[in-house]
Amino acid sequence: MLEQDLTPDLLAQVQQAVHTRTHLKIVGGNSKSFYGTPTSATALLEVSGHRGIVSYEPSELVVKVRAGTRLTDLTQLLTDHGQMLAFEPPGFASEATIGGTIACGFSGPRRPFAGSARDSVLGCTLINGNAECLAFGGQVMKNVAGFDVSRLMVGALGQLGVLLDISLRVVPMPEAEITVTRTLSSAHQALELMQQWQREPWPFSALVYDGNKLMMRLSGAETAVHSAASQLGGDIDLNGDLFWRQLREQQLDFFRDAENLWRISIAPATPLLDIEGEWLLDWGGAQRWLKSPVYSEHIHQTVAALNGHAVCFRGSDKTDWLRLEPGLMNVHKKIRQAFDPYRLLNPHRFSPEL
Amino acid sequence: MPSLLNARFIAQCRSVLGAENLIIEPEMLRAYECDALVALRNLPEMVALPESVEQVQALMKLCYEYDVPVVARGAGTGLAGGALPVTNGIVLGLSKMQRILAIDQENRTARVQPGVRNLAISEAAKSYSLYYAPDPSSQIACTIGGNIAENSGGVHCLKYGLTVHNVLQLKFVTIEGELLTFGGSGLDAPGYDLLALTIGSEGLLGIVVEATVRLLPCQPCTQVLLAAFDSIENAGNAVAAVIAGRLVPAGLELMDNAAIRVTDDFVHANYPIDAEAILLCEFDGLLEQVDADLKKTKAILKENGATSIRTAKDSEERKLFWAGRKAAFPAVGRISADYYCMDGTIPRKHLAKVLTQITRFASDLGLKVVNVFHAGDGNLHPLILYDAGHPGEYEKAEQLGGQILELCVAVGGSITGEHGVGVEKLNHMCVQFSSVELRQFERLKAAFDSKNLLNPGKVIPSLHRCAEFGRMHVHKGQLPYPELERF
């Protein structure tokens, strides 16, 4: 893996941008530009060259990595040491970087059982919109010194700072993983079963209903996962790994030809929503993918009424992409102001107001 | 002594909250003059004990209008002086908002008011075979509001995370009295992660008036090992080896010889009192999982020089093993007039080195230290023994505490793992952060609190304070904060 520290160069570019008030479009592998709304910035700040592992000690369960490092390189390194990122991030392309992954805050099928991208972040170094280089958090599991700025960066789409390096908690790969499937035609029944099982202490690491099958992944000691599988009942799918990878990377048939793919984040036991379209229920019901031709307003309103959130994950329907009530939008603006007073970093990436 | 607060402000508070929810009599105010960091005290001008979200909002509007500083307080069990009253300010006690509003069995959540005790959540969820995972040692008394302010951990956070990993939604009142909702009913809401920002913000950004927390299914099987070692080094290496051995214990605790002796005297946990260190290692999950983990762990502990390994034979013995660990603080209280509990974190690999160095620092100052801590996540809790009755001893204990925290930072750790900064670690924030980082914290605070009324003077040290502190602690020959004027 190519190792390269471009900190001075990146800092100089942001300094120059501050000086000239130039808006910057932060780009890693450019694998997730479909997400959010397009930035109005045109000048590129390319981070993908800033790459390499800064430190990794498996027994500390921490890896510190430069933001431009490819996600595939990082996961390969961890795999070689029997470890992994707990949040099972999607890459969506081989060029995907860890910086972009954290800036988007995407987590994969393991998320409800092993924590989110944000949960795995222990620290980071960033350049804020004043061209100051700042470090927050650290490389220890527990650290409550000052505001948790490093976790605030997760999902902020680069608007609060250019990520330079990130320290992540890693976890051991489970000794065994098996996938068990059950054919079920009723989505309602599938949802109910998922809730019942999640109230019980099974060693799940993924739980999804794809419209035909209820798929569960069990992780842990060999004896434990087989005991759980036989008690839960169903067929063991020896190609389970492929399914979870395709689900994570949105390569299943469900994700093909979606004009608008919506991500609905909602309480897992919420009954099936009355919105026309095709559904895939991931995260045990807490993350629901919807392919729908329905007008965004209806989707936003239906989900908001249930205290959930909807975003058009892929597609053209970007109307009011990030829906926030005025009070919350105001807080967002003030936080943005605190980190990037001239709004130079990825402006409009969430909405015209941010 | 007449109150320094504006009489109109007091009258308006009375009309909003009712006289029964206000304390202004000095003798009654005494109960609020400090939290569990008892060395620091300051009498508040007034204590307000609102009973509803609306009352909190109205009170905040008044504080904002009259520029009155507000210190929020839960049960007052904090160890860093986060709830220490500030001069000319009021204390906002949330103890009357102590209802569990809902246990949602289907979604495995509890919606609670901030004054609900940590343990009360698990007690209420027990009939559904669910529980709330973060378990700070003060969980009988401490409140969820305080846990959120401090991002509290506990014995089991190695596997189950800190408070920040277990909260789904917060209702939050700003200094202007506005009610906002952060997070949502699902996981990972789009937008900036306001939950991550507010959890652990020590009352500097707003007042949490309601929390929805995640509940987990109770595990069918729990088992604990007690391993003895004849050196701290071996015990420290064993901790690293267990973690490297792809095991995730629910808890992994270390006690040194001083701690073993003092707690065994107190609770008769039947600890091996001649051991230089013991490890308590707990696993939970399905029976098959726990069996497999125990087998692997025993082999690793043996390889790393454990002189004896005992597995609790039943739940009674398991409780006894833990009783010693849990009684460590009160046990130390029996042998020493006073003790000062530190809270630093370090990378696990430096465990033995740091403990040896702490002993050296302590003996240089003529003090004793007892070590009990969360070894699995490198979170040290050295207890510095001293006698406040002896002139100069408190100052020495403080000095030793400072040395320990600076050592934690020097080996790549943090000045606080779970107790927070409060007022106690203001100076050490100057060691952990640069002036530009501290200024970023200030700007972030100002985004929520432009008048600096929420717990002012806590967590973020002024740059002048850092300059003063730095004058005594010059690092690597460099004068810190060179941009500041010197007096």
What is the β-pairing status of strands A43-46 and A24-27?
A: parallel
**Boundary-marking domain end, from B291, B307, B329:** B329
Residue A218 belongs to some domain of the structure: yes
Residues B77, B203: contact at Cβ < 8 Å? no
B440 touching A, CB under 8 A? yes
d(CA A69, nearest CA chain B) in Å: 23
Q: Which domain holds residue A116?
A: 7-172+335-339
Domain membership of residue B376 (yes or no) is: yes
Nearest to B217 among A199, A287, A307 (CB): A199
Among all residues of chain A, which has the CA nearest to that of B459? A146
Q: Please give chain A's pLDDT, 354 residues, in tens.
A: 679 999 999 999 999 999 999 999 999 999 999 999 999 998 999 999 999 999 998 889 999 999 999 999 999 999 999 999 999 999 999 999 999 999 999 999 999 999 999 999 999 999 999 999 999 999 988 899 999 999 999 999 999 999 999 999 999 999 999 999 999 999 999 999 999 999 999 999 999 999 999 999 999 999 999 999 999 999 999 999 999 999 999 999 999 988 899 999 999 999 999 999 999 999 999 999 999 988 889 999 999 999 999 999 999 888 889 999 999 999 999 999 999 999 999 999 999 999
Q: Which residues contact B372 (CB under 8 A, 6 or more apart)?
A: B253, B254, B255, B256, B259, B263, B325, B328, B329, B381, B383
* Strand-pair partners of B48: B22, B92
Query: pLDDT tens, position by position, for chain B (487 residues)?
Result: 446 789 999 999 999 999 999 999 999 999 999 999 988 999 999 999 999 999 999 999 999 999 999 999 999 999 999 999 999 999 999 999 999 999 999 999 999 999 999 999 999 999 999 999 999 988 999 999 999 999 999 889 999 999 999 999 999 999 999 999 999 999 999 999 999 999 999 999 999 999 999 999 999 999 999 999 999 989 999 998 998 899 999 999 999 999 999 998 888 889 999 999 999 999 999 999 999 999 999 999 999 999 999 999 999 999 999 988 888 888 888 889 889 989 999 998 898 889 989 999 999 999 999 998 899 889 999 999 999 899 999 999 999 999 999 999 999 999 999 999 999 999 999 999 999 999 999 999 999 999 999 999 999 999 889 988 875 544 433 444 444 443 3
Strands B221-229, B338-341: pairing kind: unpaired
Helices marked H in A5-116 — which ranges? 7-20, 71-80, 98-104, 111-114
Same domain as A168, residue A252: no
Q: For residue B481, tell me if it sits in a domain.
A: no
**Residues B104 and B201 grouped into a single domain:** yes
Same domain, B209 and B245: no
Say how many Å lie between the first and final Cα of chain A, rounded.
Answer: 36
Instruction: Looking at the structure, tell me whether residues B302 and B274 fall in a common domain.
Output: yes
Residue B368 is part of a domain; what is its CATH number? 3.30.70.2740
Q: Please check whether residues B119 and B45 belong to one and the same domain.
A: no
**Same-domain pairing of A240 and A101:** no
Please state, as a whole number, how many other Cβ atoms lie within 10 Å of the Cβ of residue B198.
Answer: 26
Residues B307, B271: Cα–Cα separation, whole Å: 13
| Integer Cα distance of A271 and A284 in angstroms | 12
The two structure tokens encoding residue B149: 């302010």
Contact A148 B200 (CB under 8 A): yes
Same domain, B163 and B143: yes
Amino acid B400 reads L
Structure confidence at residue B482 (pLDDT): 45
ipTM of the complex: 0.97
* Number of domains observed in the structure of chain B: 5
The answer to whether residue B483 is domain-embedded is no
> Are A180 and A166 members of one domain?
no
Q: What is the CATH number of the domain that holds B44?
A: 3.30.43.10
Q: Report the CATH number at residue B127.
A: 3.30.465.10
- Residue A165 shares a structural domain with residue A180: no
Q: How many domains does chain A have?
A: 2
Q: Residues A166, A180: one domain?
A: no
CA A18 to chain centre: 29
Q: Same domain for A246 and A166?
A: no
Cα A75 to Cα B250: distance, rounded to the nearest angstrom: 25
Structure tokens at A40: 């109005």
Q: Which residues of A touch B244 (CB under 8 A)?
A: 58-59
Contacts of A82 in chain B (CB under 8 A): 246
- Torsion angles phi and psi, residue A315, rounded to 5: 130, -175
Nearest to A17 by CA among A160, A158, A130: A130
What is the C-alpha to C-alpha distance for residues B453 and B205, in angstroms, rounded to an integer? 9
Partner A, chain B 3-42, Cβ-Cβ below 8 Å: none
CB pairs under 8 A between A and B: 267
Task: With beta carbons less than 8 A apart as the criterion, state whether A167 and A154 touch.
Answer: no
Mutate which: B253, B289, B406, vs A, most A CBs within 10 A: B289
Q: Return the CATH number at A102.
A: 3.30.465.10
A102 touches A166 (CB < 8 A): yes
Q: Is A231 part of any domain?
A: yes
Spatial neighbors of B127 by CB under 8 A, at least 6 apart, are none
How many whole angstroms separate alpha carbon B414 and alpha carbon B431?
A: 10
- At A168, which helix (H) or strand (E)? strand A162-169
Residues A180, A155 share a domain:
no
Which residues of chain A make contact with B186, given a CB cutoff of 8 A?
264-268, 286-287, 308-309
Answer yes or no: is A320 within a domain.
no
Radius of gyration of the CA atoms of chain B, in A = 23
A158 in a structural domain: yes
Beta carbons of A70 and A51 less than 8 angstroms apart = yes
Q: Which of B310, B329, B348 is the last residue of a domain?
A: B329
Does a structural domain hold residue B486? no
Quick check: is B283 in a domain? yes
How many Å is the Cα radius of gyration of chain A? 21
B61 lies in some domain: yes
Tell me which residue of A7, A49, A6 sits closest to A28, measured CA to CA: A49
A354 belongs to a structural domain: no
Measured CA to CA, the distance from residue A195 to residue B337 in angstroms comes to 53
Q: Within this chain, do residues A166 and A182 fall inside the same structural domain, yes or no?
A: no
Q: Which positions in chain A touch B437 (Cβ < 8 Å)?
A: 134-136, 146
The reply to whether B439 falls in a domain is yes
In a domain, A346, yes or no: no
Are residue B11 and residue B114 in the same domain, yes or no? Answer: no
Strands B167-173 and B207-214: antiparallel
Which domain range does residue B381 map to? 336-410
d(CA A234, CA A255): 25
What is the pLDDT at residue B3?
A: 64
Query: Chain B 375-414, CB below 8 Å of chain A: which residues?
Result: 377-379, 412-414
Question: What pLDDT, on a 0 to 100 scale, did the predictor assign at position A24?
Answer: 98
Q: Is B300 an 8 Å CB contact of chain A? A: no
Q: Kindly state whether residues B148 and B193 are assigned to the same domain.
A: yes
Assess if residue A31 is contained within a domain.
yes
In a domain, A345, yes or no: no
Please write down the HEC assignment for all residues of chain B: CCCCCCHHHHHHHHHHHCHHHEECCHHHHHHHCCCCCCCCCCCCCEEECCCCHHHHHHHHHHHHHHCCCEEEECCCCCCCCCCCCCCCCEEEECCCCCCEEEEECCCCEEEECCCCEHHHHHHHHHHHCEECCCCCCCCCCCEHHHHHHHCCCCCCHHHHCCHHHCEEEEEEECCCCCEEEEECCCCCCCCCCHHHHHCCCCCCCCEEEEEEEECEECCCEEEEEEEEECCHHHHHHHHHHHHHCCCCCCEEEEEEHHHHHHHHHHHCCCCCCCCCEEEEEEEEECHHHHHHHHHHHHHHHHHCCCCEEEECCCHHHHHHHHHHHHCHHHHHHHHCCEEEECCEECCHHHHHHHHHHHHHHHHHHCCEEEEEEEHHHCEECEEEEECCCCCCHHHHHHHHHHHHHHHHHHCCCECCCCCCCCCCCHHHHHHHCCHHHHHHHHHHHHHHCCCCCECCCCCCCCHHHHHHHHHHCCECCECCCCCCCCC
Q: Are residues B225 and B322 in the same domain?
A: yes
Residue B174's φ and ψ, nearest 5 degrees, are -80, 170
Q: Does A316 touch chain B (CB under 8 A)?
A: no
Torsion of CA B287, B288, B293, B298, to 10 degrees: 90
Q: Are residues A168 and A192 in the same domain?
A: no
Instruction: Please tell me whether residue A32 adopts helix, strand or coil conformation.
Output: coil
Residue A212 to residue B93: CA distance in whole angstroms = 53
Range 188-207 of A in CB contact (< 8 A) with B: 195, 198-203
Sign of torsion, CA A15 B476 B425 A124?
Answer: positive
Please report where in the chains the tokens 């010194």 appear, as a residue. Answer: A145
Rounded to the nearest 5°, which phi and psi values hold at B100?
A: -85, 115
Neighbours of B129 (CB within 10 A): 16
Task: Looking at the structure, tell me whether residues A267 and A156 fall in a common domain.
Answer: no
Interchain contact, B162 vs A322, CB within 8 Å: no
Nearest to B247 by CA among B322, B352, B158: B158
Q: Name the residue in chain A with its Cα closest to that of B205.
A: A147
In chain B, residues with a C-beta closer than 8 Å to the C-beta of A156 are 192-193
How far, in Å, CA of B397 to CA of B233, rounded?
25
Of B93, B125, B143, which residue sits at a domain end? Answer: B93
What is the rounded CA–CA span in Å between residue B280 and residue B265?
18
Q: Which of A141, A154, A268 sits opposite B193 (nearest CB)?
A: A154
User: Best residue in B158, B286, B438 to probe A by mutation, most A CBs within 10 Å?
Assistant: B286
> First CA to last CA across chain B, in angstroms?
35
Kindly state whether residues B273 and B192 are assigned to the same domain. Answer: no
Co-location of A237 and A206 in the same domain: yes
What would the two tokens of residue B125 be?
């969820």
CB of A328 less than 8 A from some CB of B: yes
Answer yes or no: do B226 and B322 share one domain.
yes
Q: What is the pLDDT of residue B407?
A: 94
Is B153 contained in some domain? yes
Those residues whose C-beta lies under 8 Å from the C-beta of residue B15, and which sit 6 or more positions away, are none
Question: A210 and A119 share a domain?
Answer: no
Q: What is the DSSP string of A307-347?
A: T-EEEEEEES--TTSS---HHHHHHHHHHHHHH-TT--BST
